[in-house]
A = this chain, B = another copy of it.
């Protein structure tokens, strides 16, 4: 038995995304954001997108290009404070924004990836974020139902990938990537390094290949991936 090759060109992989798609994007700030695939999404111009991501990057980077190009209908995020364009588009009603507590966003995505329907939590119950969400009693305690999230597509940024789609992430670039890898119908991973099958030690794989549909080799690392001056 051998494992199949899922290497795909970036243009071809991104072309599978239709208008109106819901897209999960890994990344927390710069690390782990699939900047190159976002650029390709801007080039192809799919409209009406719902983006599920920790944050909206900063102005001039990543998700901001999609916002500037009018491709985004809705953001499901934990924080957009570093992107004034996202804040002002939200304030002006040009995009819809759904805020989640960060760890609950992670769990909702993971629940979708684990084939669960939802999770029960006491987080943010007594805040604006929890207002209006259904209550459920568990062992006598009233807690809140958060629904599982799934997406049409997940766009991941990996450090290393083999052709079957086994992935490893590096340092704090891991963040939401392995969770989103489980939670989308089509999972596309760009990778800084493509290594031969068998080079990733099986104990060290962060995302097992069966979750991944397309492996996209990065031919160069763009400026957005570099150290940001602040």
A residues neighboring B (CB under 8 Å): 107, 111, 114-122, 136, 138-139, 141, 143, 145, 147-148, 168-171, 174, 202-204
Q: How long is the Cα–Cα vector from A119 to B116 in the complex, in angstroms?
A: 7
The answer on a CB contact under 8 Å between A118 and B120 is yes
Chain B nearest Cβ from A175, distance in angstroms: 13
Known pairs A107-B114, A107-B116, A116-B107; A170 contacts B203 (CB<8 A):
yes
Interface of A is mostly: mixed
Q: How long is the Cα–Cα vector from A136 to B144 in the complex, in angstroms?
A: 12
Known pairs A136-B136, A136-B145, A147-B139; A171 contacts B119 (CB<8 A):
no
Q: How long is the Cα–Cα vector from A115 to B171 in the complex, in angstroms?
A: 24
Q: How long is the Cα–Cα vector from A170 to B107 in the complex, in angstroms?
A: 26
Residues of B within 8 A of A171 (CB): 202-203
